[in-house]
Structure 1
Amino acid sequence: MTAFHPFPRLPWEVRARIWELTVEPRTVEVNIEYEKTTVTDDMRARYSLAPDTSRWISILRLRSSTAVPAPLQACREARIHLTEGVGGLGNYRKAFHQLLAAINDGKEMPLQLELRLELGLGLEPRYVWVNFEMDMISIGQSMFTLFEPYYQNIKRLKFARDRNEWFCYFESKELRNFAKVREVYVVCLDGLDCWQGAEECCFPYSIENVLLIDWETGKTETPFETDARWDEIRAANYRKEGARINLDTHVPFVPWLPPGWFEGQEEWDDYYGDW
């Protein structure tokens, strides 16, 4: 059966519930980037730009490869109910509007309609349909600060980072601004091994579900699993040096000292840091 013709004759409460049950979790790609555009002399003349306009305009662009949710394309009744009604699974809403069109010399720059079209911004701000209760918001390498208007809305977050950049830009602290987030996926651009110890220093304690994803292989681990794997690697190296290992801590029993041990050494990993 390709169509259920009696569907319109069902009671409204039944139809509404059926539409709600069509809602499924998705991964919604939302990439926001600044793109520099050169201000040419021809552009200045055609659009009568102010004399103090600098040579560059930074355009804030919103890109998403995620299609409109299927239930919203089913029919008018489904679209209205799932965007305006009070569904049990949460509603879809327009989000991530391209509110700030352009920046010139650190200030917001109003753009004429013709100039907006020339820069590829379109007549209206772009947006993405999102169900914040269920959808995973995947921002790639976009900066956290660009999503400030949605800090309180996003509950499932996915992003791609190199761990060194993660610390250099203090993003481990900025992640705390996503106050309602309960699940985080991190695409590790430098590989899973570089994220050992991440459980203690990279994520707020309020986030219970964190998954690390290797960018090249697609392998996944929780931070706890990554740390446990490296504990076993270190323990194996300790045993090669003749140590008797504490199975609970994966470190040698004291007073065992490896060859080359020097007075004042406090951390085992300082000695074995090259492994």
Structure 2
Amino acid sequence: MATFHPFPRLPFEIRTIIWQMTVEPRQVEFRIKTPDWAFRTLYATSTTPIPAVMQACHESRNLGLYQRGLAVGDEPRYIWVNYDIDLISIGKTGFHKLDHYRRIVRRLKFQAENSSDFFHSVSPEWKEFTNLSEMHVVCEDGVLAWQDAWEYLTWPCPRDNIRFIDPKSGDVVDGYTLDKRMDEILAPSDEDEE
């Protein structure tokens, strides 16, 4: 990549606009490190690279394009996050591990099986995700297994912004598509009518 040497001579306002244009939505992986012998949390880890703009210079870091966040546990370590646009992917990590961040996370991705345990113990925790605008569910048991959850759970974000992901095929569907697929499966075939 070529270097634009006159960049520092541009007016601050223009440099700020350029730095802001470098910010893109990312999927931020969030996992918990625990000691082998205990159930307590040591710290959060992430395989998501630090945004390049945070490593460019003091000026770009000081603009507040990303925040230090998701620091949990006995030995907290922060992860650079832009809560407005980053998708926080917690995998199978429990929702309770995001305790202090529930009200600021806007986009969340998790992996689960649609079981009675999930229905009764996990979904009530959602009510504290008051600013959630989007949710992605990696469906361990296939997307069709989540059709009843789509229909009966009280989701913490607008239903139009919920996506179900099949981990085997990578297929991504919304709840309305899930309803259509289930209707097609349950609809009587021409052979049944004869």
TM-score between the two structures when normalised by the length of structure 2:
0.90
Q: Which residue of 2 aligns with 1:214?
A: 166
For residues 4-33 of structure 1, the C-alpha deviation after alignment (integer angstroms, 9 at most, x for no partner) is 111111111111111111111100001125
User: Is 1:31 matched up with 2:37?
Assistant: no
Kindly report structure 1 stretches of 4+ aligned residues shifted beyond 6 Å.
none
Identical pairs, percent: 38
For residues 50-73 of structure 1, the C-alpha deviation after alignment (integer angstroms, 9 at most, x for no partner) is xxxxxx573433121011111111
User: Is 1:69 matched up with 2:51?
Assistant: yes
Instruction: Show structure 1 runs of 5+ residues with no match.
Output: 38-55, 84-90, 102-120, 244-275
Instruction: Show structure 2 runs of 5+ residues with no match.
Output: none
| Paired residue secondary structure (2:188) | helix
User: Is 1:139 matched up with 2:61?
Assistant: no
Q: Which residue of 2 aligns with 1:162?
A: 113
Where do 1:5-24 residues align within 5 Å?
5-24=5-24
In 2, Cα distance between equivalents of 1:203 and 1:218:
25
Q: Is the 8 A contact 2:88 2:108 kept in 1?
A: yes
Q: Is the 8 A contact 2:67 2:81 kept in 1?
A: yes
For residues 138-189 of structure 1, the C-alpha deviation after alignment (integer angstroms, 9 at most, x for no partner) is 0111111111101110000000011014225x21222222110010000001
Greater Rg over alpha carbons, structure: 1
> Which among 147, 154, 159 is matched to residue 196 of structure 1?
147
Q: Is the 8 A contact 1:35 1:60 kept in 2?
A: yes
Report deviation, 1:204: 2.0
User: Is 1:153 matched up with 2:104?
Assistant: yes
| Paired residue secondary structure (2:158) | coil
For residues 201-255 of structure 1, the C-alpha deviation after alignment (integer angstroms, 9 at most, x for no partner) is 2342742300000011111111111121110121134x43328xxxxxxxxxxxx
Give 1:134's aligned amino acid. I
For residues 66-101 of structure 1, the C-alpha deviation after alignment (integer angstroms, 9 at most, x for no partner) is 1111111111211112x2xxxxxxx31111113x32
In 1, Cα distance between equivalents of 2:89 and 2:110:
6
Q: Is the 8 A contact 1:94 1:127 kept in 2?
A: yes
Q: How many residues align?
A: 192
Give 2:27's aligned amino acid. T
